[in-house]
Every structure is written in structure tokens, then in C-alpha cells.
Amino acid sequence: MAVVDLPGNHSFRLLPNNRWMQSHYAWAGEGKVLNLPAPSPDAIVVLKPGSTHKVHFDLTKERWWIVDTNKPDVPPFPMQQVQDGWSASFRIEYAPPGADALAGLPNAELVRHASLRSRAFNANRGID
């Protein structure tokens, strides 16, 4: 099996965690066309049985900023600025490029084309 790890964490997105309550925070990047890098052979990481691949996320970077949907006039801001942190719960989702974008690359046939979600976490550093 393989995963695609595009530079700048572009194989991932931030999803509100609405499991316990409806969140009024959303990822500012959702639905926006970002300057996605073209997949390269180096971006395809082949995982052998039992192996792992670690990815570092810096949630202070502008790419991961959020918006308060109750305050549409307020510009995007870092998650760390949320005052009611328990209601700002999110998951990171692995969302690889489509098979067409990987066509012709080595090991493209091994890529998992399904999403994977992290455990939920919130602005107060809580994790489920």
C-alpha cells in the first residue's frame, strides 16, 4: 500500500468534528482552490506491512487557520486564538489526489484512494 504525501501537507484537510455538538468553527481553506503541487514520484510513500509514515502539522501556519461561522466579518485566525476551545474541535483527514493526477508515476497503483481521519482534537489541546 502507498500514501501520497504532498509538500506543505497538501494531502490533508481540516474537518470540523461535529460528533458531540455542532461546531461554529470551520477550516478557512475548505472549498478553496489552493496552489496544489503536482504529485511527484517522491510524494508516493510505499508502506511495507507494519511500517508507518509520520507527518508533522504546524497548526499555527496560515494554511490551517479557521473561521468562526457565527462571525462572518472576522477574518481567518489561528486555532490557538479560540476562546471557547471545547467547541472548536477538528479532525485532520488524509485526502490524496485522484488517480488521474497520479497516472504514470511509479507505484501509483499502490496508492490508497480513500480518506483516513485522525482522532479529534480541540483548541484546548484536548484529544478524543
* Domain residue limits, the chain: 2-122
Give residue-wise pLDDT tens across range 77-102.
Answer: 998 888 776 678 899 999 889 899 99
Query: What span, in angstroms and rounded, lies between the C-alpha atoms of 110 and 16?
Result: 29
**Going by C-beta distance under 8 Å and a sequence separation of 6 or more, which residues neighbour residue 44?**
2, 3, 4, 102, 105, 106, 107, 108, 110, 111
Averaged over 68-75, what is the pLDDT? 93
Could you tell me if 46 and 105 are in contact, meaning their C-beta atoms sit under 8 angstroms apart? no
**Partner residues linked to 111 by β-bridges:** 2
Give residue-wise pLDDT tens across range 21-32.
Answer: 677 899 998 877
Phi and psi of 102, rounded to 5°?
Answer: -100, -5
Share of the chain above pLDDT 70, in %: 90
Q: Is 83 exposed, middle or buried (0-12, 13-18, 19+ CB in 10 A)?
A: exposed
Identity (one letter) of the amino acid at 60? T
The pLDDT assigned to 50 comes to: 93
